[in-house]
Amino acid sequence: MKDLNAPSAHPDITFNTVTVGDTSVRYLQRDGVAGSPPLLIFNGLGQSLEVLLPLIDELKDRSIVAFDMPGIGRTPMIEDITTIPDYAKFTLRLLDELKIETFDVLGISWGGAVAQQLARDASSRVNKLVLAITSAGGIGSWWGTPIALSEIMFPMRYISKTYGNFIGPLMYGGEAIFAPADFREYSKHAIAPSPEGYFTQVRAMCSWTSLPWLRQLSQKTLIIAGQYDGLIPITNQILLANMMQNARLEVYPAGHLLMYSQRKDVGVTIGAFLGG
């Protein structure tokens, strides 16, 4: 089903819905160079598809697929999805409906948890893995600043744009503090998540960790870190890089906004990694 709310500035991207079980899930898709596997992108906590569009523009020639998680964006909540493994299983069902067998994965922030889980649960289907500004999970993480930790527990920044524009740079750290207009531009098209969808994602992340099996992941992995990340500090990405079998770490002089503020350089780096 065609999504009539699709942004008109991206004619190469189609927004559609696909039925998974009894739920109509909104997803986006872009066709790239024939023969390369699609890149599946998992977004950050409470984030709808709209905030991914500037980054997707920089991932030249890549086939892309991404979707609004249950209770996020324009996908309704599903009550029996409560854990990170549940989100991974739901993703596999969606990919089966789209007839996508093998793929690369990019997990951003909260989405990095689902990316790691998927790489474990469906290792034969995941080719390469990109983990950006993420961690090994709630009990296996170094948390950010007190402001970041307190604010992430509640979706007030989505409910009030004015409040979100004030607190967002303080949460994200780095360049967001000195260029708050960039943060406002990044977040202005975001769709507020449902309370159920947001709090379910928070609980899922806090109760999950990949530490017991992280060393078992064999996929070639690119880890992206922000040197001044106030939300998920760089120590988390260093841990991932040191524990994973086949990972390399790329560090940018940025905060948690780096997948937007550094998207041109990030796009080149990810493209070279996936293509090479």
Our measurement of the distance from residue 256's CA atom to the centroid of its chain's CA atoms, rounded to an integer in Å, reads 12
Q: Which of 109, 135, 141, 261 is catalytic?
A: 109
Query: In the chain, helix, strand, coil percent, each to 5?
Result: 40, 20, 40
Which residues, other chains included, contact 185 with Cβ-Cβ below 8 Å and sequence gap of 6+?
none
- Helix 180-187 and helix 161-172, axial crossing angle in degrees, nearest 10: 120
Sheet holding 23-30, edge to edge: 14-20, 23-30, 64-67, 39-42, 103-108, 126-132, 220-226, 247-252
Q: Is 109 a catalytic residue?
A: yes
Half-sphere exposure of 51 (CA within 13 A, CB side): 28
- Stated as kind and residue range, the H or E segment containing 237 is helix 234-243
| Contact status, residue 119 vs residue 129, Cβ threshold 8 Å | yes
- Tell me which residues are annotated as active site: 109
